[in-house]
Amino acid sequence: MTGTIIENLSGRKLAILVSFLLLCQLICFLIGGLVAPMPANAQNILATVCRDKSTVKNDTTKWYYNRGKGSCKTVDLGETHHDLSETDIVFAFQMPVPRESKILDYSRWQQNLIGVLQVDIKYHSQIEVQPRSTITIDARLAYRNKGDPEDEWKLYTQSIEKRHLDCDIDVKSEEYLYNCSAIPLFELGSLFHDFYLLNVRLPVDTPTMNSHIGHIQDMWLTVINQNGGFTKVWLSLKTVFFPCIIAILVWFWRRIHMLQRKPVLLEKMLLSLGLALCLLNMPIEYFTLHFDLPFMLLLGDIRQGVFYATLFSFWLVFAGEHMLIQDASAQSSVKQYWRHLSAVAMGCISLFIFDMCERGVQLRNPFYSIWVTDIGTNLALTFIILAGISTGVYFLFLCYMIWQVFINISHKRQSLPTMCSVRRLHYEGIIYRFKFLMLATLLCAALTVIGFILGQVAEGQWKWDENIELEYTSAFFTGVYGMWNIYIFALLVLYAPSHKRWPVVENTSDTQNLSEEIEFSPLPSERGSSEISSLTSFIRKTTID
């Protein structure tokens, strides 16, 4: 048995490799902290209240906006005397808002757009807002591009949606406004066009429709989109990492097939992990610069879910393969870990179903949201809370498994003094290297779990309208993403089979003059073993010297 590169690589070369990988990790953090802007940008837009003079109120070719040729006639709802009915009022939001008298437009680098509605309701003693009122919204979204006439808006989508309106007030006075919860309105999976226009009406088709929502004075729309500068940095990292992982994966699998045995479980798991990382690294976001792909958010969630499932499964197998869980003569298989892997699979499938219920339906109707009903909100919160608890429990269980590995190694080290000095030094070096790798695995798992939990909270904070302050910096994003690539790159290199052929040293009295790169001859009982390395063989059976 020749062992792995981590066992046979000289200390000098290993130090150079680790230093290079740590430098790459530092660069990933610095790129996010010094080069990339914040991952997302939020902009608050005050609605322009337009007066609809048309006889036909449902004309989809008529649009209301406040800038450019054909802009609407505005009204002030704060005035008490006006001859407007509810059907004559249109709340218009033209996106994006100009800055410093400059007309801005959206870039396809900004990837997606989320809209959250906030209503300002003025207190009136004769029209009080009922608790848990239902507001019916007739929402229409239009777009136009550069070069189009200013009055040529094209319909993107429309829908009549019902939302719950939770409002309370501290002082019931005519000059005070209600404190109302935010209303999730729409989510676009792609930002393909340059300008967008949202027209919102509050229909009163029945006597009870919108009859308990009070006197709406203003509306605000908070639009959240990914920063284009951050997308460029993110895709640049993907463009660099993608071919590197492909190359090291091909090199790793070629070395496996050069051996006189079939690949063992840990090698297959490493291959699966590398393939999952390649799927995550694939920079398909470049296609969004030329094509309108509204399913990119859903596809991104699926790719990340596949990577999480493979990574979490690998860590369980990686720790389990270095524990005393089976007889040395038996070869490992996935069946031994079916309980652990089933738990990971169930968690990922649950999140996939939840994602399909949200973003899957939004492919047909961007105004749909699972958060608009009590059942949907409770279900969504349950999924997010359970996901956070499950990942926390997973991390604690992984810590327990790694602790068990360290205990097993400590027990087996008691037999090292009975060995000859050459073999004792060989195994001691391997153990130190392995412990360092396991601690790096634990750190990687901790940052991954933290990133997963914060990602779930950050995604839902606008929708469940909780005052949660999260400073989710670009450095954390790029740092954790770089850590995944560097960690898996290191595993593929260090756990690749070593093909060194060095002469067997028979005179153990000259151990001080041995080269660092001598590969020690296996014991007769170790020859023909199916283990990936001499360390797993050493842990799983009684040492024979």
Quick one: average pLDDT of 288-297?
A: 91
Structure confidence at residue 507 as a pLDDT band (50, 70, 90): very low
Quick one: average pLDDT of 353-362?
A: 85
Which of the given ranges, 241-250, 340-349, 365-374, has the highest pLDDT on average? 241-250
Q: Which helix (H) or strand (E) holds 325?
A: none
| 381 SS3 class | helix
In contact, 459 and 383? CB cutoff 8 Å? no
Return the pLDDT at 242: 95
Return the pLDDT at 334: 76
Starting from the edge strand earliest in sequence, which strands make up the sheet with 89-95, in order?
48-51, 89-95, 195-201, 133-144, 154-165
Return the pLDDT at 462: 55
The residue extents of the domains of the chain are: 5-39+229-504+517-540, 40-226
Which residues are bridge partners to 102 per DSSP? 99
Q: Which helix (H) or strand (E) holds 4?
A: none
Q: Return the CA Rg of the chain.
A: 30
Q: How far apart are CA 166 and CA 133, in angstroms?
A: 7
**Secondary-structure breakdown of the chain: helix, strand, coil percentages, each rounded to the nearest 5:** 50, 15, 35
Which of the given ranges, 123-127, 165-169, 333-337, has the highest pLDDT on average? 165-169
Return the pLDDT at 10: 80
Q: Is the pLDDT of residue 502 over 70?
A: no
Q: Which position has the higher pLDDT, 320 or 467?
A: 320
Q: How far apart are CA 123 and CA 136, in angstroms?
A: 20
In contact, 430 and 535? CB cutoff 8 Å? yes
Q: Is the pLDDT of residue 173 over 50?
A: yes
In contact, 42 and 178? CB cutoff 8 Å? no
Return the pLDDT at 425: 67
Return the pLDDT at 516: 38
Q: Which position has the higher pLDDT, 303 or 176?
A: 303
Structure confidence at residue 394 as a pLDDT band (50, 70, 90): confident
Tokens at 416, concatenated: 């090292």
In this structure, are strands 167-168 and 195-201 parallel, antiparallel, or unpaired?
unpaired
Q: Which position has the higher pLDDT, 433 or 501?
A: 433
% of the chain exceeding 90 in pLDDT: 28
CA-closest candidate to residue 535, choices 123, 526, 89? 526
Q: Is the pLDDT of residue 204 over 80?
A: yes
Q: Which residue has the tokens 């007066």?
A: 51
Quick one: average pLDDT of 33-55?
A: 86
Structure confidence at residue 475 as a pLDDT band (50, 70, 90): confident
Q: What is the pLDDT of residues 527-542, one digit of tens each?
A: 444 445 555 655 555 4
Q: Is the pLDDT of residue 373 over 90?
A: no
CB atoms within 10 A of CB 394: 20
Quick one: average pLDDT of 338-363?
A: 84
In contact, 469 and 228? CB cutoff 8 Å? no
Q: Is the pLDDT of residue 329 over 60?
A: no
Distances (CA, A) of 166 to 55, 135, 183, 528: 33, 10, 9, 70
Return the pLDDT at 260: 78
Quick one: average pLDDT of 354-381?
A: 84
Amino acid letter, 409: I
Structure confidence at residue 237 as a pLDDT band (50, 70, 90): very high
In whole numbers, what is the pLDDT of the chain averaged over residues?
80
Q: How far apart are CA 197 and CA 64, in angstroms?
A: 8
DSSP H helices, 370-498, are 374-413, 421-464, 474-494
Quick one: average pLDDT of 73-85?
A: 69
CATH code: domain 5-39+229-504+517-540 is 1.20.1070
Q: Is the pLDDT of residue 511 over 70?
A: no
Return the pLDDT at 468: 44
Q: What are residue 156's phi and psi, to 5 degrees? A: -95, -50
Q: Which position has the higher pLDDT, 472 or 73?
A: 73
Q: Is the pLDDT of residue 168 over 80?
A: yes
Return the pLDDT at 415: 65
Quick one: average pLDDT of 314-327?
A: 72
Q: What is the pLDDT of residues 105-135, one digit of tens each?
A: 999 999 999 999 999 888 887 788 877 788 8
Q: Is the pTM of this model over 0.75?
A: yes
% of the chain exceeding 70 in pLDDT: 81
Quick one: average pLDDT of 173-196?
A: 88
Return the pLDDT at 233: 94
Structure confidence at residue 544 as a pLDDT band (50, 70, 90): very low
In DSSP notation, 235-272 reads HHHHHHHHHHHHHHHHHHHHHHHTSSS---HHHHHHHH
CA-closest candidate to residue 397, choices 433, 457, 333, 449? 449
Structure confidence at residue 513 as a pLDDT band (50, 70, 90): very low
| 358 SS3 class | helix
Quick one: average pLDDT of 67-94?
A: 78
Quick one: average pLDDT of 141-152?
A: 90
In contact, 185 and 164? CB cutoff 8 Å? no
